[in-house]
Amino acid sequence: MKNNQKAVQKRRQNILQMVIEKGEITVGDIAKNCNISEMTVRRDLQIMEDRKLLYRIHGGASSLERVDEVKRFGENVNLCRNRISAYASKYVQDGDSLFINGSRTALNMLKYINNKKVLVHTNNGWAINEKYPEGVTVCLTGGEVRNHVMVGEYVMRYLLSITVDKIFIGCAAVYDDGEFRYDIPTEIGINESMISRNNHKIYVLADHSKFQQRENNKNLYGSTTYERQIVLITDEKTDPTMIEKLRQSGMEIVIVPLK
C-alpha cells in the first residue's frame, strides 16, 4: 500500500515537473510520457489543481507561472488599448461624422467623446450592447456577421451611400514595411471602400502587441497598404526600431504615454 502511494506521489511530481517546464501541456502528452491512461491524468490534474499546484485548462494543464504571465500580459495590453482609445478621441470634433471598422480599440474611443455631437457609422457588432455619452449617435451598416464584424454586399452598398469626415480603424497586425493585416480579409475591401470616399487622413489604432516584422518580405493573405496618409496611434511600449522604420516610409506615428 505504501509503495503504491509512493508511486502515485512520484507520478504526480513528474507530471507537475512537466507542466512547470513546458508551461502548458496536453492530457495526451502527459499520458504518453508517463505511460498512463488519460483518465488517470485527468484525475491527477484535478487533485493537483485542488492543492493549488497548477491550473487545469481545456485539454490539459498550465503552470501557475504561465497563467499569471498570460493574465499580466492581458491586463497590460488592455491598459494600452484604453489609453490609445482615449487619446484617439481627441481627434474628434463637434459635429464630425465617423466610420469605425471592427476594431474594439477604435470603437471604445466613443466612450471618451463628451459634450460633442458625433454621428458614427460602423460595421462593428460590439456596438450593439455598448452605452455611449449623450450626443454620440451610432448607425450600424447591417450585413452578414462574422465573429463580431458585419461584412458582405449589404455593407458595401451602405458605405457607398454615405460620406464621413474621419475614419478610425484597427487591424490584426502592423508589419514593419507598412502593411496591415486583417483576420477577416473581406474587411480590407470594406475599409478601402470607405477610404476611397474620403480625402482626409486615416487614423489606425494599434497597440504594441500588434507590431510584427515581415519575414523575407513575403506577402501574406489578408494584408494591405492604404494609398492615403496614415496616422498610426500606438503606445510607448512599441518597438522604437519599428516605429522609426515606419516613419521613414512616410507614416505619421503618434505615441501615447501610459502614465
Clarify whether residues 49 and 108 are in a common domain: no
The answer as to whether 217 is a domain residue is yes
**pLDDT, block means (10 residues), the chain with 259 residues:** 77 90 89 93 93 88 79 78 96 96 95 95 93 94 90 92 94 91 86 85 94 67 84 95 94 93
Q: Does this model's pTM top 0.85?
A: no
Residue 212 β-bridge partners: 175
The answer as to whether 218 is a domain residue is yes
Residue carrying the nine cell digits 503552470: 63
> Could you list the residue range(s) of the whole structural domain that residue 109 is in?
75-256
Q: pLDDT tens, 31-81?
A: 999 999 999 999 999 999 998 889 898 889 988 877 776 676 667 888 899
Clarify whether residues 18 and 79 are in a common domain: no
Q: pLDDT tens, 1-22?
A: 555 888 898 999 899 989 988 8
The predicted pLDDT at position 2 comes to 53
What CATH number does the domain containing 28 carry?
A: 1.10.10.10
The answer as to whether 249 is a domain residue is yes
Report the distance separating Cα 44 and Cα 49, nearest Å. 9
- If one counts the domains in the chain, the total is 2
Residue carrying the nine cell digits 507590431: 211
